[in-house]
A and B are shown apart, each in its own frame.
Chain A
Amino acid sequence: MNNGKRSIFLLSTLSFGLAFLYVPMIMLIIYSFNKSKIVAIWGGFSTKWYAVLFDSPEVWEAVALSFKIATVNACFATLLGTLAGLALVRFGRFKGRTLFSGMISAPLVMPEVITGLSLLLLFITLKEFIGWPDERGFTTITIAHITFSMAYVAVIIQSRLAGMVQDLEEAAQDLGAKPLRVLIDITLPLLAPGMVAGWLLAFTLSLDDLIIASFVTGPEAVTLPILIYSRIRLGLRPDINALATIIILVVAIGVLIAGYIMLRQQRQRELDLSMVAEEK
């Protein structure tokens, strides 16, 4: 009796929550197939907005720019973030360590408007004194993205490194591996999953960023979020719905693949555990 009540309650909460999350997206997808130019009125099924989208060179340029920035950003952020994470763990206990590791995660909670504004100020000042960057665009956006996404990578790496890795590195040294060898044989392979996760996170953060990019961009460089936002300001448009639908599709496929890989790993782990248990 009690159980039945609770399950009805749980079920309705769950469906309400899910609806809250997904109804807007579903509406967006439906309206991307709307024949009518007026967004809120259904004028029959059509894929013409997709055709419009594919014909527009502006959109393709924005997509290309965003991917270029995201890729370069992800690579640099992973490199720098890994080094920062390594350094934080490796130095062990030193005075001011808490302050230092707090400082590295500050960009995670800093309002983006402030990050954007301060970076813009930095670029303007730099131009004043050393004449670089002479023009804002790809380079400045990429640098800005690296500064905040490397913080995320550093945090991921730090959490992976904490604990066992020091023992493993010492064990390798004990068995005759010089420091560089230890890095290649032990540290990097163990960090690889963290670095991949960090790379993906940095990539998405960059792809998604509107605020910081609009602060530090110039007139020439239009990233995908900036393009979408500027068009929306002129009124809702069905071709943007089509673009958003494609983005949702790409993200969904990515999530599904990641989920599948994780599920397989989990299965494998359970299999291994049951194997160990049987032998005992």
Chain B
Amino acid sequence: MVNAAEYEDRPWLDPEAEPFIKVQSVSKQFGDFTAVDSVDLEIYKGELFCLLGGSGCGKSTLLRMLAGFETPSSGSILIDGVNMNDVPPYERPVNMMFQSYALFPHMSVEKNVGYGLRRDGVAVSEIEQRVQEMLAMVELSQFAKRKPHQLSGGQKQRVALARALVKQPKVLLLDEPLGALDKRLREQTQYELMNIQEQLGVTFVVVTHDQEEAMTLSTRIAVMDTGRFQQIGTPTEIYEFPNSRLVANFIGNANMFEGRVVENGQDHVIVESRHPECNFYVDHGMSIAEGSKVWVALRPEKVMISKQQTADGNTNTVKGMVHDIGYLGGTSTYRVKVGDEHLVEITSPNQLRPKDGNPPIDWDEEVYLSWEPSSSVVLVK
């Protein structure tokens, strides 16, 4: 308890904290197809947890099992310590925001938002007041009397959010909440969603296939692939320390080098790569036999590009030739040919104005690429 404050924003690190949602080796089969394959998950109170994965990987199915629309083929789901396996959707302490928003087309905005309270038999005057409060929060007060088809996409999304939150659920499940919005609106709404979550302290479980969205929103992310979790961690952990090639490639871009461990020291490993020919000095030790086949992942923005060789014995350096330059304004992306065919991608901020219209680094120029020993990650799968 002494450490309560220390763990406030990171309850998953607190050994004494009790998870709010426990998913215990849950599987879901449709016929002989396994959509969710014995997953375990613990989500803590107040988290904004993202299930991230490509289309068809089983995210929605898992979310629907939390909501009660699908029953697990095996395993169990506990919410606030209660086993949910036999609890129907209308008795669960969770609410869901649907990907299609699922607004009732024959009810006005305020009737939609108040529907859940009416089902709970809340007094009419209280319903009115809570609906007004909710609509004020999502800035839709003046649209209370409208029907859903008289609203724009962004407004519908906010009605759906208000309707799911008005019952003050312990957990809010959101299936691709921003999927139907255009890019600008989506970015703006991300922050609104985070503010609302913080304001109300409700635990959010968000399904998304958009990795940037997941990185921006979440306290923690579970990366899902073909019905299993590949990795669960904070956005930083997942980006900086992916545990597999799949995760490294799914979240952001990564240069991937295949190689062999040639030296395994106390605090470092050296990986020898053949294509292109170079040695990677990586400063995290790991328990792996010398000679094993591994991959080294290197993020494009962690590589420095320059025309002169830096004289630092510790850093990794290779020589290459600029093959392609993509100028993006704030940054440039270089693709540098190292060895005969291997292309390495580098993103680098454009800090200096080009002099006389000439870029600091030009096509077909010889350059040196270098990176810190701490910048790359060794992956075994």
Residues of A with Cβ closer than 8 Å to B?
164, 167-168, 170-178, 181, 185-186, 189-190, 269, 272, 275-276, 279-280
State whether A176 and B98 are in contact (beta carbons under 8 Å apart), knowing that A269-B149, A275-B150, A280-B152 are contacts in the complex. no
Interface pair B150/A170, CB less than 8 Å apart = no
Interface pair B167/A164, CB less than 8 Å apart = no
State whether A175 and B167 are in contact (beta carbons under 8 Å apart), knowing that A167-B98, A170-B98 are contacts in the complex. yes
Q: With A and B bound together, what is the CA distance between A173 and B167 in angstroms?
A: 13
> Can you spell out 5 A-B residue pairs with CB atoms less than 8 angstroms apart?
A167-B98, A170-B69, A171-B102, A178-B90, A276-B152
Q: How far is the CB of A165 from chain B (nearest CB, A)?
A: 10
Taking CB atoms, residues of chain B closer than 8 Å to A177 are: 90, 115, 119
Taking CB atoms, residues of chain B closer than 8 Å to A167 are: 98, 100, 102
Q: How would residues 143 to 184 of chain B score, 1 for a CB under 8 Å from any chain A CB and 0 otherwise? A: 000010111100000000001100100000000000000000
State whether A168 and B90 are in contact (beta carbons under 8 Å apart), knowing that A174-B95, A279-B152 are contacts in the complex. no
* CB-based nearest B residue for A174: B96
- Cβ of B369 within 8 Å of any chain A Cβ, yes or no, is no
* CB-based nearest A residue for B105: A190
Taking CB atoms, residues of chain B closer than 8 Å to A181 are: 119
Q: How far is the CB of A94 from chain B (nearest CB, A)?
A: 10
Q: With A and B bound together, what is the CA distance between A266 and B28 in angstroms?
A: 44
Q: With A and B bound together, what is the CA distance between A280 and B102 in angstroms?
A: 22
- Cβ of B270 within 8 Å of any chain A Cβ, yes or no, is no
B167 is contacted by which of A168, A176, A186, A190 (Cβ under 8 Å)?
A176
Q: How many residues of B contact A (CB 8 A)?
A: 28
Q: How far is the CB of B35 from chain A (nearest CB, A)?
A: 14
Residues of B with Cβ closer than 8 Å to A?
67, 69, 88-91, 94-96, 98, 100, 102-106, 115-116, 119-120, 147, 149-152, 163-164, 167
Interface pair A175/B116, CB less than 8 Å apart = yes
* CB-based nearest A residue for B30: A93
Taking CB atoms, residues of chain B closer than 8 Å to A170 are: 67, 69, 89, 96, 98, 102
Q: Most A CB atoms within 10 A — which of B91, B116, B167?
A: B116
Taking CB atoms, residues of chain B closer than 8 Å to A176 are: 90-91, 116, 119-120, 167
Q: With A and B bound together, what is the CA distance between A167 and B69 in angstroms?
A: 10
The 9 closest A-B pairs by CB, nearest first: A175-B116, A176-B119, A171-B102, A167-B102, A173-B89, A272-B150, A173-B90, A174-B96, A176-B90
Q: With A and B bound together, what is the CA distance between A144 and B332 in angstroms?
A: 76
Taking CB atoms, residues of chain B closer than 8 Å to A173 are: 69, 88-90
Q: With A and B bound together, what is the CA distance between A269 and B163 in angstroms?
A: 24
Taking CB atoms, residues of chain A closer than 8 Å to B120 are: 176
Q: Most B CB atoms within 10 A — which of A167, A176, A185?
A: A176
State whether A175 and B149 are in contact (beta carbons under 8 Å apart), knowing that A167-B100, A168-B102, A186-B104 are contacts in the complex. no
